[in-house]
Amino acid sequence: MEALKDKLESSFLVFENELNGQALGEVHNRRKEAFERFVESGFPTKRHEEWKYTNLKPILKHDYRVFLSDDNTVDFSAIKKFFLSDTDTYKLVFIDGYYSSWLSETTHEKFDICTFSSMLTKYRDVAEKYFNKALPKEEALASVNTAFAKEGAFIRIKRNQTADKPVELIFITTDHGVETMSQPRNLVVVEENAEVSILERHQSLSSKPVLTNVATEIFALRDSRLNYYKIQNDVHTASLIDSTSVKQYANSSVTVGTFALGNKFVRNNLNFFLEEEYTQSYLDGITIIDEGQTVDHHTLVDHKVPNCYSDELYKGIYDANAHGVFNGKVMVHPHAQKTNAFQQNNNILLTDKASIDTKPQLEIYADDVKCSHGCTIGQLDDEALFYMQSRGIPEKEAKALLLYAFANDSLRNVKIPALRKKLNRQIANKLNVNLDFEL
Amino acid sequence: MKTEESYLEEVTASEYKYGFYTNIESDKVPPGLNEEVIRIISAKKNEPEWMLEWRLDAFRKFQKMTEPKWPNVTYPEPDLQAISYYAAPKKKKELESLDEVDPELLKTFEKLGISLDEQKRLTGVAMDVVVDSVSVATTFKAKLRELGIIFCSISEAIQEHPELVKKYLGTVVPKSDNYYAALNSAVFTDGSFCYIPKGVRCPMELSTYFRINEAGTGQFERTLVIADEASYVSYLEGCTAPMRDENQLHAAVVELVALDDAEIKYSTVQNWYPGDKEGKGGVYNFVTKRGLCERNAKISWTQVETGSAVTWKYPSCILKGENSVGEFYSVAVTNNYQQADTGTKMIHLGKNTKSTIISKGICAGKSNGSYRGLVKIGPRAENARNFSQCDSLLMGDGCGSHTFPYIETQNKSAKIEHEATTSKIGEDQIFYCQQRGIGEEEAIALIVNGYCKDVLNQLPMEFAVEAQKLLAISLEGSVG
């Protein structure tokens, strides 16, 4: 970990030099500030309460290359499977951190769907208003991302507009023959009464370990509606650390769905900051993992103001020696009366080697609230299994059906039919069955 | 008509009723914490060499530790050097009957409503009364002796049953377990010791009354309860402390050992001085309580916590043997500026182990209550079962309630359920009662009473009365 920290420190100097004229100004000040915070705190260890169950050491021990060349190209045919089929979408595709214009489809008409770098140059006011204003300062990995923030997606849906197509963000890391690290940075601004659905994926084509440290800031202004889905189904050599922060303003409704099926290691830091009243927040998650996989979901819903509603539903199925972590925190500040917060986490362990550590947490400083959480760890119902078997469904399929039904609840807010289909297929695949129907 | 607010105000305004100071001369060791003090304590108590070594070892371990910062409470750190670690009432002589007890003391107990004679006659409870740190009266001893039950102060046990103390002391809560447990191991002055022989069912509730009495003394009690194979004991512990302005530290250690097929029921009613309305003064209650269950054994913790300025306390069960059972029932009431961080740990190691956690928090005024619990299922704990329920009731918008459940599972056959809710007293419930002619005050009483019932039902009859009394003092009149 120390080696990587040293490397990042020297890389930051290189990065600053290459910025030339841009190294001055507000945006870079924020980068520097974030980096100083990281240098001071270092990477979190298991001694940090937020990292109690997850050890970063094996992930950070590699000698990652921080800056990649843009030599490698990728054929559309090789990555076609990562896109939504039979649905027209706006696309932002990045190869090794570089924007790939010929694989992408962007727009500037009624709304901006373009790159983070062009936002930095074109819309300086936007950058100054929003850059690093949502991510919590104390998260070391988000700070590292902020320090190196250069490229990624920028989506701004202007007032009263509804995006006519979903937006797909795809980040590809190609094979460079060495361990690589990438740090995309996204900014999403959904203005007053605007609406959009976004899909995010990170895929590695490399045979070497890849670490993606992505950070996304989302601002949902008054009366806006946003659906944000993350498909985390990468190869078993890839690790993902995702920091996402959402700021919600009056009457806005935001859904973030996190579907973790792949990767060697996934850590999600998902934060919702409710800034104004009458917001709705939905946090959904499905985790289905097996051999050698770790998925850690950390969520925070910060009820700062009265009359907000939040609903969290995370389901997990753990096979082989998979390790799952769920830490859901609901914070209700003084005066945030009439808060209605709900949190549920259900888990199934399929083997004795699999383990789950869960910590649903409530911190409540207001009295007129309705807050509850439920958490279960259990197995499939033997009777249900027997019922199905007695009606001619083989054990394997019966089990898969039950597991599928268990996880399916968390797809409740997936509004894009093609995505629903894709997720259904991926879940069936992961459960090793062929489900020729859709729920 | 009284509004709910004005009623709550009245409730919160009630002063601590048991604040008084008994004037008994004390034999005090000068304040300070060092090896010398530990040697003095050990010498004063006429302890054998191995006990002194044990204390010194604990003290050395303690010196390497630091005060834990993780609990969700804030308080000025107690100055351990300013505490006198030994205070014994001076008029000390062998006492056979209650008549010989200092009449001042008896008055104290009368004020508390626990006159020894009455308790003795009416309830059949044997009391090991601890004022400050040394026990002065032990009753019903003869009757217990017939059955082979040993119930005495721990200092006496060290003298008379060294083999039992040596074998079990520190086995459940090791000396280096945590900061305050280590401190306790080094300087504990007294406490209770109880041994139930094989196959014996203790015919009465064993009870200890702790009182902090001397100004400026911390109390470091050490309790060790051993239930041998197939025995049963119900143990009661209760506390009230006199009103005092400076903070007093109470760092006790309780160890329970339930051997094969044994059952221990440990009930606590805690009402240390919680500080005044401005949050000034009050007792710091930092307690380590833990029980070890062997095969088919059962340990049940019941607690009603109404006092103390700052509490952190996690009565735990290590379910080591097959089919062992752990239970935890708790009502924690905080008011004014009280802070409580309490909960339990259920550590499932053996097959078919079961645990139940029922925690009810009531927060009023500007207080903060936290539930912090751990349920851990080890890889070998086949078919482990846990059910946890943590509810919080909030009264007033200045208080806070928090839940920190940790659930760690390493076995697929485990079945774990956890649920927590936080809400204020239901307005429609109050409305419903009022509609039927029940006054608001009584309605709140009814609701709170019903809310705590699951836990209060677990208390032994004799104690349930006391518990309701103390609840009633904390939330004046709302618990009938």
pLDDT higher than threshold 50 for residue B292? yes
Report A:320-359 residues touching B (Cβ under 8 A).
Answer: 334-335, 337, 347, 349-352, 354-359
Residue from the list A347, A359, A371 with its beta carbon closest to the beta carbon of B406: A359
Report A:7-66 residues touching B (Cβ under 8 A).
Answer: 49, 53
Q: Is B9 on the interface with A (CB under 8 A)?
A: no
How many separate domains does chain A show? 1
Section B166-188 average pLDDT: 87
CB neighbours of residue B10 within 10 Å: 13
pLDDT higher than threshold 60 for residue B354? yes
Q: Work out the mean pLDDT of chain A and round it to a whole number.
A: 90
Q: How confident is the model at residue B109 (pLDDT cuts 50, 70, 90)?
A: low
Q: What is the pairing mode between strands B345-348 and B316-319? A: parallel
Section B74-96 average pLDDT: 63
pLDDT higher than threshold 70 for residue A230? yes
Q: Is A291 on the interface with B (CB under 8 A)?
A: no
Q: Helix/strand/coil (H, E, C) string of A221-280? A: CCCCEEEEEEEECCCCCEEEEEEEEEEECCCCEEEEEEEECCCCEEEEEEEEEECCCCCE
Tell me which chain B residue has its CA closest to the CA of residue A363.
B402
Note the pLDDT of residue B16.
53
Note the pLDDT of residue B479.
33
CA B218 to the chain's CA centroid = 16
Q: What is the largest CA-CA distance in chain A?
A: 73
pLDDT higher than threshold 60 for residue A55? yes
Q: Is B429 on the interface with A (CB under 8 A)?
A: no
Distance from CA of A340 to the nearest CA of B (A): 10
For residue range A415-437, what is the model confidence (pLDDT) as tens digits? 898 898 888 888 888 887 776 65
Q: Work out the mean pLDDT of chain B and round it to a whole number.
A: 77
For residue range B297-350, what is the model confidence (pLDDT) as tens digits? 999 998 888 877 888 889 999 999 999 999 999 988 888 888 888 899 999 999
Q: How far is CA A435 from CA A405, A407, A438, in A?
A: 12, 14, 8
Q: How confident is the model at residue B2 (pLDDT cuts 50, 70, 90)?
A: very low
| Residue range of the domain that includes A409 | 380-439
Q: How confident is the model at residue B106 (pLDDT cuts 50, 70, 90)?
A: low
Identify whether the C-beta of residue A195 lies closer than 8 Å to the C-beta of residue A226.
yes
Q: How confident is the model at residue B464 (pLDDT cuts 50, 70, 90)?
A: confident
Tell me whether residues B407 and A377 touch, CB distance under 8 A: yes
Tell me whether residues A361 and B405 touch, CB distance under 8 A: yes
When comparing pLDDT for B274 and B401, which is higher? B401
Note the pLDDT of residue B10.
52
Q: Is A365 on the interface with B (CB under 8 A)?
A: yes
Note the pLDDT of residue B47.
84
Tell me whether residues A369 and B70 touch, CB distance under 8 A: no
Element holding B243 (H helix, E strand): none
Section A314-333 average pLDDT: 92
Would residue A436 count as lying in a domain? yes
When comparing pLDDT for B187 and B212, which is higher? B187
Note the pLDDT of residue B1.
43
Q: How confident is the model at residue B466 (pLDDT cuts 50, 70, 90)?
A: low
Would residue A395 count as lying in a domain? yes
Residue B278 structure tokens: 């401005």
Note the pLDDT of residue A247.
96
Would residue A429 count as lying in a domain? yes
Percentage, residues of chain B above pLDDT 70: 74
Cα R_g (chain A), whole angstroms? 21
Strand ranges (E), B13-94: 26-28, 87-89
Note the pLDDT of residue B98.
54
Identify whether the C-beta of residue B194 lies closer than 8 Å to the C-beta of residue B225.
yes
For residue range B398-426, what is the model confidence (pLDDT) as tens digits? 788 888 889 999 888 888 988 888 888 77
Q: How confident is the model at residue B92 (pLDDT cuts 50, 70, 90)?
A: very low
Q: ipTM strictly over 0.85?
A: no
Residue B251 structure tokens: 């760092």
Would residue A434 count as lying in a domain? yes
Mutation choice for B interface testing from A318, A362, A376 by most B CBs within 10 A:
A362
pLDDT higher than threshold 70 for residue B243? no
Q: How confident is the model at residue A274 (pLDDT cuts 50, 70, 90)?
A: very high
Section B84-109 average pLDDT: 53
> d(Cα B67, Cα B45) in Å, to the nearest integer?
28
When comparing pLDDT for A252 and B438, which is higher? A252
Tell me whether residues B421 and A350 touch, CB distance under 8 A: no
Section B428-441 average pLDDT: 86
> d(Cα B443, Cα B6) in Å, to the nearest integer?
15
Residue A199 structure tokens: 């899909």
Note the pLDDT of residue B316.
92
Q: Is B419 on the interface with A (CB under 8 A)?
A: yes
Residue B214 structure tokens: 């001397």
The answer to which of A8-22, A151-165, B68-82 has the lowest mean pLDDT is: B68-82
CA B34 to the chain's CA centroid = 27
Identify whether the C-beta of residue B258 lies closer than 8 Å to the C-beta of residue B292.
yes
The answer to which of A78-87, B123-132, B233-242, B381-390 has the lowest mean pLDDT is: B123-132
Q: Is A84 on the interface with B (CB under 8 A)?
A: no
Residue from the list A347, A355, A371 with its beta carbon closest to the beta carbon of B422: A371
Q: How confident is the model at residue A251 (pLDDT cuts 50, 70, 90)?
A: very high
Would residue A386 count as lying in a domain? yes
CB pairs under 8 A between A and B: 113
The answer to which of A162-176, A423-437, B161-175 has the lowest mean pLDDT is: A423-437
Distance from CA of A326 to the nearest CA of B (A): 10
When comparing pLDDT for B79 and A58, which is higher? A58
Residues with Cβ within 8 Å of B50's Cβ and at least 6 positions away in sequence, in order, are B162, B166
Note the pLDDT of residue B88.
57
Torsion, Cα A141 A143 A144 A149, to 10 degrees, reads 120
Would residue A393 count as lying in a domain? yes
Residue from the list B401, B403, B409 with its beta carbon closest to the beta carbon of A349: B409
Q: Please give the DSSP secondary-structure letter assigned to residue B217.
A: B
Q: How far is CA B44 from CA B101, B129, B190, in A?
A: 21, 20, 12
Section B136-148 average pLDDT: 68
Q: How big is the CA angle at A59 (ends A53 and A61), to the nearest 5 degrees?
A: 120
Tell me which chain B residue has its CA closest to the CA of residue A374.
B419
Mutation choice for A interface testing from B72, B372, B403, B427 by most A CBs within 10 A:
B403
Q: Report the predicted TM-score, pTM, of the whole model to 2 decimal places.
A: 0.81
When comparing pLDDT for B461 and B117, which is higher? B461
When comparing pLDDT for A428 and B142, which is higher? A428
Would residue A389 count as lying in a domain? yes
Would residue A88 count as lying in a domain? no
pLDDT higher than threshold 70 for residue B245? no
Residue from the list A349, A362, A365 with its beta carbon closest to the beta carbon of B403: A362
